[in-house]
Amino acid sequence: MSIIADRYRRHADSFERTVAAARPDQWSDPSPCAKWTARDVVDHAVMMHGAMLAPVGRTLSPAPADALGAFRAARADVEALLADPVAAATGCRTPAGTVTAAEHVDQVLVDDLILHRWDLATALGLDATMDPAEVERMWAANTAIPAETMAKFRTPGAFGPGIEVFGPEVPVPPEAPTQDRLLGFIGRDPRWPRRSP
């Protein structure tokens, strides 16, 4: 359990540092996620924390309205879940089968934090380099997903209203860095420019 908690904490720390680096005037800036602003990226991350709590009958605690405060409150709730042996071991039904609540956090939320940290850092004009080991892991895992399953992942609403796991694949040269190929595969343009305000 401590391995999952440590992995979550490491990536939550990275995401939180990125949130903390934003200037107040940047929250309405566009992000690489179509139709999402920088603040929308953080709101999505907070919402996903709530999604990890729901299968064990928990909800997000009341939180401050600011992005940093909201994320810190949400991560505290997930860290409390991971620190509770009974809750962490509770089975959760997911599209990929039944896993423990801790495994659900590891398989869904950790990857979400890694990828959306890239979205947020890119939107804010910060260094968006991803952990190379995590990039290789996610590249191998995502490219191994069967085509039929991937088609469902790319279908908006397939897992519920407003839920889109991956966007349409963005063509990326085969010789491009693995991070760029991963981003293109999940539907991001790795060359997405930060637009001028």
Question: Residue 145: which residues within 8 A CB-CB, separation 6 or more?
Answer: 153
Q: What is the dotted CATH code of the domain comprising 1-110? A: 1.20.120.450
Q: Write down the mean pLDDT value for the chain.
A: 93
Which residue pairs, CB below 8 angstroms and at least 24 apart, start in 90-97? Answer: 90/55, 90/56, 92/55, 92/56, 93/55, 95/159
The arithmetic mean of pLDDT across residues 11-35, rounded, is 96
With bands split at pLDDT 50, 70 and 90, how would you rate the model's confidence at 25?
Answer: very high
Q: Considering the entire predicted model, what is its pTM?
A: 0.92
With bands split at pLDDT 50, 70 and 90, how would you rate the model's confidence at 121?
Answer: very high
What is the per-residue pLDDT across 30-85, written as a single tens digit (0 to 9) for each?
A: 999 988 999 999 999 999 999 999 999 999 999 999 999 999 999 999 999 999 99
What is the per-residue pLDDT across 182-192, written as a single tens digit (0 to 9) for each?
A: 999 999 999 99
pLDDT of residue 197: 42
Domain ranges, ordered by start, for the chain: 1-110, 129-197
The conformation of residue 37, written as its DSSP 8-state character, comes to B
With bands split at pLDDT 50, 70 and 90, how would you rate the model's confidence at 195?
Answer: very low
What is the per-residue pLDDT across 129-160, written as a single tens digit (0 to 9) for each?
A: 999 999 999 999 999 999 988 888 888 877 76
pLDDT of residue 196: 44
With bands split at pLDDT 50, 70 and 90, how would you rate the model's confidence at 3?
Answer: very high
Question: Residue 11: which residues within 8 A CB-CB, separation 6 or more?
Answer: 110, 113, 114, 117
pLDDT of residue 1: 55
With bands split at pLDDT 50, 70 and 90, how would you rate the model's confidence at 17?
Answer: very high
With bands split at pLDDT 50, 70 and 90, how would you rate the model's confidence at 194?
Answer: low
- How many angstroms separate the most distant Cα atoms in the chain? 49
Residue with tokens 């997911």: 94
pLDDT of residue 109: 95
With bands split at pLDDT 50, 70 and 90, how would you rate the model's confidence at 96?
Answer: confident
Three-state DSSP class for 166?
Answer: coil
